[in-house]
Homo-oligomer: A and B are copies of this chain.
Amino acid sequence: MKADTLRGHLDALLLAVLDGRKLHGYAIIEALQLRSDGALDLPTGTVYPALRRLERAGWLASEWDVVSGRKRRTYRLTRSGEQALAAERTEWREFTTVIGGVLGA
């Protein structure tokens, strides 16, 4: 996939992958690979700062836990994160309608 196309859609992806489940950063990256059949392989330098940003925005909450000696910061959607996800999904539909409409015919 061409570079830069992700711009503006990263938040939506992160919120979506956390919809209904708790995951830590590393697992989020893997989940996105899985759900996209390998098309999305986001670097940690993209994901970790984004997660902290979303937490500061109040859309995610995190807590540390330790699994077999390794520390993990596990994230989950907050109530307002769920609302943000719904909004992101709506925006995505609008976006694809607009661009697709121009490209379409």
CA distance A4 to B95 in the complex (A): 11
Q: How far is the CB of A86 from chain B (nearest CB, A)?
A: 11
| Copies assembled | 2
Say whether B92 contacts A16, CB under 8 Å: no
Say whether A12 contacts B100, CB under 8 Å: no
Dominant SS among interface residues on chain A? helix
* CB neighbours of A36 from chain B (8 A): 98, 101-102
Say whether A99 contacts B9, CB under 8 Å: yes
Say whether A102 contacts B8, CB under 8 Å: no
Q: How far is the CB of A64 from chain B (nearest CB, A)?
A: 26
Pick from B7, B39, B94, B95: contact of A98, CB under 8 Å:
B39
